[in-house]
């Protein structure tokens, strides 16, 4: 299955949001009065953050960007 190419800036933001909210969920779930579900959802969000980070790191460069840069003369 081939995924649509996402801009690197958007992937960086999504990765940061998933890792941040996942770690916050794990911390709140493990604190006093936290529940198992909070920890489970936090772990799931950290896993999704890992997937988006992997997508960011393994993404091929945009072939159109080279064409755009080559044609611009300032």
Question: Residue 70 above 60 pLDDT?
Answer: no
Place of tokens 């800036």: 9
pLDDT of residue 60: 83
**Structure confidence by residue, pLDDT tens digits, 16-65:** 999 999 999 999 999 888 789 999 999 999 999 999 999 999 988 877 77
Enter the DSSP assignment of 34.
Answer: -
Q: How far is CA 12 from CA 35, 50, 74, in A?
A: 29, 11, 30
Residue ranges in the chain assigned as alpha helix (H)? 8-30, 36-58, 63-71
For 13, other C-beta atoms within 10 Å of its C-beta total: 12
What's the pLDDT band for 69 if we cut at 50, 70, 90?
low
* Pair of tokens at residue 67: 């064409």
pTM: 0.76
């Amino acid at each position: 299955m081939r995924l649509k190419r996402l801009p690197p800036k958007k992937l960086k933001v999504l990765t940061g949001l998933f890792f941040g909210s996942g770690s916050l969920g794990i911390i709140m779930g493990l604190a006093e009065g936290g529940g198992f579900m909070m920890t489970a959802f936090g772990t799931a969000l950290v896993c999704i953050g890992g997937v988006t980070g992997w997508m960011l790191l393994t993404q091929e460069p945009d072939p159109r960007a080279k064409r755009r840069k080559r044609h611009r003369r300032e």
